[in-house]
Structure 1
């Protein structure tokens, strides 16, 4: 009998996770049938979409309110289809506001539910654990410290590792990355990464550029590369760059045509052709100045010294405090590398502390302190090993076992 799974993934990172999970399921049952909400990576694995992944894409609280009628229609249609189909399992990939409510209804109707990527209740809104306990038959988590948290709360859980640890090389090749980007050898390279959302770039890019201008007074040969996720964000960043000119700043949305021969195969066997442009920039860099988010973990896995920053408006702070019931996170860290290491391995400059001068001071140390770079690389190499697991296989096995246990 063909194994069936309804899956909902609501953003590009979830699409990639779900695609790898599907690959793991198909390795165990080639005839798996999967339907729901997903993106192009899932489609390449034979996924049938009821709605495109963009149906769940919202950017911030204001956009969520504006899109609420569409989101509600999509949620209701997905619930109706799943209850009518009654698959062997439902898998919600991240998107907790959408998926946990859906999982609660489906589990109550007798459909086993797996949630892939534990919501960050260890930082915000721990009270969500009560809904998770009702909604989730089994939780799949990306970080080892989450296992005890869910287990203590009576939620079955499996640590599956972080897929980034499989995709990012254990031994980054800075020289090869610089060749791919057409960067000159022998010069310091700083990757500036002020985020992928409009609000992040609006609030962080001016500070990052002013910090870089200070750094260029200390090292006129410094090269700055700025990877952007799409042409809209490039246009936005370049408008800010015009206000804070930075000589030689390279804004990248794709690999440049260097005219050089193709790079030889990597020793680790990883194919760089499908990498996001940000990964090329991080591998090429001596240091990274980056907005808090998944990119901080990516920079850590590339073993680069980094400085983490984030700024939100007072209005957004009030909304976050109202929604979470907290004025600040439950942990002293916001950057994933520091959270995973449980200490400030790399600096975090947030809100009023994120002045151009302070950003420049910490970034200069990241660029120039060889002992610091070596210490950070050792810590992040060990972290990489901890996060590296057979994520597709472990996720697939837990999903199949959950389905059988609840059959």
Structure 2
């Protein structure tokens, strides 16, 4: 409207096209440019200034004037209601100045105030949408943590039930065998013609069975005590280091363990730690048996509120197109067992190349909130 014919109009049209193309590129690659815009609000202010220059040339009756309400909406969505108020006021002032520069007596106050009012509404809508998104994010995070807590609690309950079954099936049966052996020893000792060899055999059986029952009882009671005492969790890093050394000594493969992350890893409930350690041990065994690996690297630490355990080997890697259903059909249940163990404690497992160019990486992520909740409940 206000540009001179010829090159002036072409420059304004080109600037409008470039502006929309740049906006499309920003939204298409938002994961890269979004954090930059969050750290530097002045970029949005420069965009507003550039848009104002275009608006002066294009006129308040153009489509660009209606697009200008997106600026306060974006400010409210990214920075909150204060920024929405600032940019809505700034954009409204620009629109009023543009109307003031026009020599058009037919422009009434209502028409001049329409777009500034829309800027205020857009800013309020953006800040309201931001609050809804933040609340939705918090609710999603709380739901994820609750699911992880429930999964860990169920894993602990299932493990205690397993210990009770083992107590019944192992210790109780062993003690029953001790009782039967002792009855036989009593009958042999009370017989008129005592068989010394048979008495010695039955006495040895009683002694061995009693020692076995005592060992089984100590092991089960130790597990129960660790689970019932919130102050005695499992040091996962120390256990991983020990299992890595044992794997190296047993197989001869180069196996190293390295702690990663910043914060210290909290004690892990024994039932949960047993599942995590079993996954790591199974991943190392797969590298030795199936991958033809020469080196295994185990990493563990806290990353962004997650306990992360990673096992990487330099072997041949998984065949392309491998999935759980195919593994189940072919009878390969190792990876399926790892996935089921991770799901039982509320962890997420990924199997693939990871960030490496070759080999296989097994990575397990467990929310720390689930560990703290389980420790309090224990």
Instruction: Report which structure shows greater RCO (CA 8 Å, sep ≥6).
Output: 1
Larger proportion of helix: 2
Larger of the two Rg values belongs to structure? 2
Larger proportion of strand: 1
Question: TM-score normalized by structure 2?
Answer: 0.24
